[in-house]
Amino acid sequence: IIDQQPPLIIDVGCAEGYYAVGLALRLRRATVWARDMDEAAQEKCRELAEVNGVAGRVKVGGELTHADFDICRAQHTVVICDIEGGEADLMDPEKAKGLRRADILIEVHETGSETSLLDTLEDRFAQTHTAQRLHRDVATSSLPDWMEGLSDMDRLIALWEWRAIPTPWLWLTAKHR
């Protein structure tokens, strides 16, 4: 994402702003739309942007609609979506036609139904995007050196997101911008 230098990042489900503010810091010319339904999360994101000196480029708001993605038609946009299961409804290029031109990173929260949401999303974007599945790994190599002295269980807990099932990411690269 950073190598592409997109002028617009849309972070759907921004929470406290980890991705929104982090990308604003790395992409000095980009505008970041940080969207979250939770007002407390919006406030935390605003505070994080302010503390990091990027509040002028991180535009915090609430609900994002299918029509809001029309902006992706006008400029190179990267969409990051982590909305805890809501991606099944929002990430639909038939309803949100602007998504057809954006590069999209989606954390996929399987529902446990017979149909895989990962397969469904990949199928929806097959005509317009190249898909890459990114499966999570418990990689202890990212832990700080001081954690070497902890038990295996403590190190595992430090990396665990407290999810009952895996949440892979789907990276969709637009074939045409």
* pLDDT tens for the 177 residues of the chain, in order: 999 999 999 999 999 999 999 999 999 999 999 999 999 999 999 999 999 999 999 999 999 999 999 999 999 999 999 998 899 999 999 999 999 999 999 999 876 666 688 999 999 999 999 999 987 666 677 788 888 888 888 877 777 666 666 678 899 999 987
By residue count, the chain amounts to 177
pTM: 0.86
Q: How far apart are CA 13 and CA 41, in angstroms?
A: 9
Phi, psi of 54 (to 5 degrees): -120, 15
